[in-house]
Chain A
Amino acid sequence: MSKYFSPEVETASREELDKLQTERLIEQVKHVYDNVPLYRERMDKLKVKPEDIKSLDDLKKLPFTSKQDLRDTYPYGMFAVPMSEVTRIQASSGTTGKQIVVGYTDDDLDVWDTCCARQLVAAGATKEDKVHVSYGYGLFTGGLGLHGGSHKLGCTTIPVSSGNTARQLTIMKDFGSDVLGCTPSYAMYLGESAAKAGIDTSKLPLRIGIFGAEPWTEEMRRNIEKSLNIKAYDIYGLTEICGPGVAYECAEQKGMHVNEDHFIIEIIDPETGEPKPDGEKGEIVFSCLTKKAFPLLRFRTKDIGIITHEKCACGRTFVRMSKPLGRVDDMLIVRGVNLFPSQIEAVLLGMNHSPNYQIIVDRSGSLDSIEVDIEMNEEHFSDKTSDITKMEKDLENEFKSALGITPKVKLVSPDTIPRSEGKAVRVVDKRKVYEDK
């Protein structure tokens, strides 16, 4: 069985990749200029014509696309082919506002499936495997994306979709799932639930987890690998670009390989928009090279990351991106201290607390207040109020030493933190310090 799904491109030389990307970029820019009014207007304003784009270096002449642009053109304003050629619609969960509607042609779907098949192979899956898809099916790209990849690779696809944990565990056990795909927080929950149900996960055939759709920490990875007795792989994708399948980890797990024959990744300074070199932190920006129905140029993800072109021991030549290190719009500045929710999460996991938490930031006068609500679990519960009050104080102290800021900690009943599409709503910033753009 091959280590790669598409060996010829996944291991192509940089020169070959540059040549392929250049050809595709030139063609794509013509396509969007001719078919998407927003891009034509923006490029005209910048006095950039499609024929000015001759090399990858010219990419920086092109305008950026923001999430707000997609909201403004809702639902079909960014589509670049007639609707008769659009064979699929997907949409984002809308956790952060209006839904983002995206479309695919038949060819786009084929590319998407290929990208998702590559990530399965990179994680060690083969066509002999049974792939248990617990990402939600529907408008959310997770379920159908991984489903398509699994189908493309020739695996036995088990389209379970999300929810009903007891049923998930029964299927996993009885059907003999080898590969699990879901959100990392749900994987954690499955692990906990398996332990509660007395299921010995070391006796299950399950050996690979493909987790994405939300940021997660290395601590979560270790936690999931232990509780489900698997190797956990990170994947990266976003609805606007195609869904899962944009980038994926290989066995080395030192960053995620970007499917460069279909997407160009850039790291930019979020303030100035200037491109940043390898190794420097900045906002991740993607351009679609082959997608015809919904082809975004220089889409600003608001995810912060780092890329490297260094050779990977797995043999893939595709550039690697780091796990998102935060969100441009999720980075909280509270009383002058920069704060990422992932830092809060690391403290909670370090102290064995529930990863179901919510950060509430507010401001009265000029004074910021920050509260972290955490769902109580059996392990930490005591019948004495003084014990729980002490636990809240201990957490506050731990946050203080880890973050340099002391939030108010409040323990709440299980299942009281709001969830959207299975994702806990992590941050409620009542101050509205960021513009919704």
Chain B
Amino acid sequence: MIKQISIFASNEPGQIIKVTDALSSQGIDIRAMCVADTQDFGIIRLIVSDTIKAKEALSSHKCVVSTTDVLGIKIPDKTGATKKPLELLANNGINIDYMYAFITVSKEFAYLVLRVQDTENAEKILAQAGIELLTQEEVENL
């Protein structure tokens, strides 16, 4: 299980830079980023090197922020590697609210970030099938 930071943003220019500036001023690294948009607003979702510090920095910049537990999955950086974990979730009736992915320089692994209703249950199912899960500590030191 890993921590994700989410930030509310009006749908207008300059909103994302406000977030990245707040983080860089505190020396916080962004591991992964995903922007969900609707017609009127967006939600910026981030995996960062220091969640607590990031939340503080953003709050002091008057951002509306929340922290959510999400599923972090480590898979080989190979064609077709996403199939196994996704199939497992689907076969167990677990719906994915949203998902995004990132890789690191090593190119050995790819990482999936998933938001599901019951994170603990999903983790159990994946772990039993031998899928590697990311821990918060690993994310911070990637």
Contacts of A414 in B (CB 8 A): 62-64
Given A389-B38, A414-B64, A381-B10 contact (CB < 8 Å): no
Interface string of A381-420 (1 = CB under 8 A from B): 1111110110010000000000000000011111110000
A-contacting 9-mer, from B1-9, B25-33, B82-90, B124-132: B1-9
Q: Chain B residue with minimal CB distance to A413?
A: B10
Rounded to whole angstroms, the CA-CA distance of A211 and B60 in the bound complex is: 28
Do residues A376 and B98 form an inter-chain contact, with CB atoms below 8 A?
A: no
Do residues A385 and B8 form an inter-chain contact, with CB atoms below 8 A?
A: no
Cβ of B65 < 8 Å from any Cβ of A?
yes
Do residues B115 and A383 form an inter-chain contact, with CB atoms below 8 A?
A: yes
Contacts of A411 in B (CB 8 A): 8, 40-41
Do residues A381 and B38 form an inter-chain contact, with CB atoms below 8 A?
A: no
Do residues B68 and A377 form an inter-chain contact, with CB atoms below 8 A?
A: no
Rounded to whole angstroms, the CA-CA distance of A382 and B41 in the bound complex is: 12
Given A382-B66, A383-B68, A389-B38, A413-B9 contact (CB < 8 Å): yes
Rounded to whole angstroms, the CA-CA distance of A355 and B66 in the bound complex is: 21
Given A381-B6, A383-B6, A383-B115, A388-B41 contact (CB < 8 Å): yes
Given A383-B115, A385-B38, A413-B64 contact (CB < 8 Å): yes
Contacts of B37 in A (CB 8 A): 385
Partner of A383, one of B10, B41, B63, B66: B66
Do residues A378 and B65 form an inter-chain contact, with CB atoms below 8 A?
A: yes
Given A376-B8, A413-B10, A413-B15, A383-B43 contact (CB < 8 Å): yes
Rounded to whole angstroms, the CA-CA distance of A377 and B62 in the bound complex is: 10
Q: Chain B residue with minimal CB distance to A386?
A: B97
**Cβ < 8 Å to B, chain A residues 345-383:** 376-378, 381-383
Cβ of B74 < 8 Å from any Cβ of A?
no
Contacts of A410 in B (CB 8 A): 40-41
Do residues A412 and B43 form an inter-chain contact, with CB atoms below 8 A?
A: no
Shortest C-beta distance, B48 to chain A (Å), equals 14
Do residues B38 and A415 form an inter-chain contact, with CB atoms below 8 A?
A: no
Contacts of A381 in B (CB 8 A): 6, 8, 64-66
Do residues B40 and A384 form an inter-chain contact, with CB atoms below 8 A?
A: no
Do residues A383 and B45 form an inter-chain contact, with CB atoms below 8 A?
A: yes
Cβ of B36 < 8 Å from any Cβ of A?
yes
Rounded to whole angstroms, the CA-CA distance of A413 and B65 in the bound complex is: 11
Do residues A378 and B64 form an inter-chain contact, with CB atoms below 8 A?
A: yes
Q: Chain A residue with minimal CB distance to B67?
A: A383
Do residues B38 and A412 form an inter-chain contact, with CB atoms below 8 A?
A: no
Given A383-B45, A384-B97, A384-B98, A412-B62 contact (CB < 8 Å): no
Contacts of A385 in B (CB 8 A): 36-38, 41, 43
Rounded to whole angstroms, the CA-CA distance of A414 and B8 in the bound complex is: 9
Partner of B64, one of A376, A386, A392: A376
Shortest C-beta distance, B35 to chain A (Å), equals 11
Of the A-B pairs whose beta carbons lie under 8 Å apart in the complex, a sample of 12, sorted by A's number, is: A376-B41, A377-B64, A381-B65, A383-B68, A384-B115, A385-B36, A410-B40, A411-B40, A413-B9, A413-B10, A413-B63, A414-B62
Q: Which residues of B contact A (CB under 8 A)?
A: 4, 6, 8-10, 15, 36-38, 40-41, 43, 45, 62-66, 68, 97-98, 115
Q: Which residues of A contact B (CB under 8 A)?
A: 376-378, 381-386, 388-389, 392, 410-416
